[in-house]
Every structure is written in C-alpha cells, then in structure tokens.
Chain A
C-alpha cells in the first residue's frame, strides 16, 4: 500500500527566510504533485513532477523529485506572508495511468509566514 509522509507538519517562518518541505513515499511512482490549500478552500495545483531529477520553479517555490530516494522537496525562498497556506504532496501510482491517477496525499504542511 502506497504511503506518503510529509514533514514538517507545521512550519512557522519569518518573512525573508528559506525553508524546505519534504515528501517521502513508500513505493515506486513517477508522478508527484504539489498542491496548495487556503483555509476553507479547494486544492490549487502547484507542480506536477514526472521524472527522476525533475525540477520546477514558480516564483518563490521550487519543487524537485528524486525517484530513487522516493523523495520530493518543496523549497521556499525568501518567504512572504502570502505563501501562508497548507501544502500537500500527492503521489500517483503507476496503475490506472491511462485513465488518470488515484492520488495518495500526505498529511499536509501548515505554513505560517510571520512578518
């Protein structure tokens, strides 16, 4: 059974600082997703990582994937208050690839950026 673990579960940062959220998963997969969720809202897609060594960047967020280590990271550079949200990683197993993936989510990382 695929398991996805995120850490830390809660992160309080000062504006301007850098930090990394880690996502480990238990079985082979080559699709890793990062989502953002604001309180009471739905999930906003941030990144889809499809292959080993993939790196994607959008603004102050950068995500990477190491399929051999079964590890993805979400790096935050020079945090600003607007980045405060809950961040989820999710892994799509190889089964059912033709019809879309069943996603297995981590527990989420609550990020609070303090001024």
Chain B
C-alpha cells in the first residue's frame, strides 16, 4: 500500500509569490493535517481537515489556506511568501479515530 504522498519534494520560490503543496493520504484515511517544520524546531500544526471540512487551525496568518477534495487529497496554499516561510511542510493522514498520524516525506520549500 502506498503511504502518504506529497508533491513536489523540493521547490524554490521568490518572496511575494504563491505556492501550492499537494498531499494524498493513505487509502481509507479521511483526515489530513498539515505541519510546518522550520529547521531545528519541532513541527507546528497548521490545519486539519476531515471529510472536506476544516476541523482545526493553528496559529498561522491568513496567507495560509488549505482544502480537502472528495478523494481526501489535500492542498496547502501559501500566498505572498516570506523568507520565514522556508521550511519542511509535512502532511499526515490518520484514521477517523486517529491512533496518531502517518507522515509523508514532506515538501522542502525555500523562499529566496
């Protein structure tokens, strides 16, 4: 079975640009969450989605948005990129009654 799939694996963007990150959960998992991990720190919660509805939002500005599609895949969008948005973005999926998340391999975003 495929695990959590994220794309792209790496990308470089310029300040002010927009970026879209994608995530496909494990088959049968309906909950997807996004985390940001800045170098040297633990992951920080951004969003959780379940059944296409936002179920949780972390302390991130409105430049960050996400959505979940009918097939339970998800996109994370970040507008007006700042240098501080450079990080590893992790997607995780879980069963409805989560025993914890399975994380994808992440997208490394560099903003220059």
| Interface residue total, chain A, C-beta cutoff 8 A | 26
Residues of A within 8 A of B97 (CB): 97-100
> Are B95 and A100 neighbours in the complex by a CB distance under 8 Å?
yes
Q: Nearest chain-A residue to B3 (Cβ)?
A: A42
- CB-CB contacts of A74-115 with B at 8 A, as 1s and 0s? 000000000000001010100011111111111110000000
Closest to A35 in B: B103
Q: Are A42 and B90 in contact (CB under 8 A)?
A: yes
Question: Which residues of B, 46-96, contact A by the 8 Å Cβ criterion?
Answer: 48, 50, 55-56, 58, 90, 94-96
Question: Are B42 and A100 in touch, CB under 8 angstroms?
Answer: no
A97 to B56 Cα, complex, angstroms: 12
Q: Count residues of B near A (Cβ-Cβ below 8 Å).
A: 28
The answer to the question of A65 belonging to the interface, with a C-beta cut-off of 8 Å to chain B, is: no
- Whether the Cβ atoms of B48 and A96 lie closer than 8 Å is yes
> Known contacts being A102-B45, A102-B56, is A48 close to B103, with CB within 8 Å?
no
The answer to whether B41 and A108 have CB atoms under 8 Å apart is yes
By CB atoms of chain B within 10 A, which of A35, A102, A108 has the most?
A: A102
Residues of A with C-beta under 8 A to B58: 102
Selected contact of A96 from candidates B55, B95, B104, B105, CB within 8 Å: B55
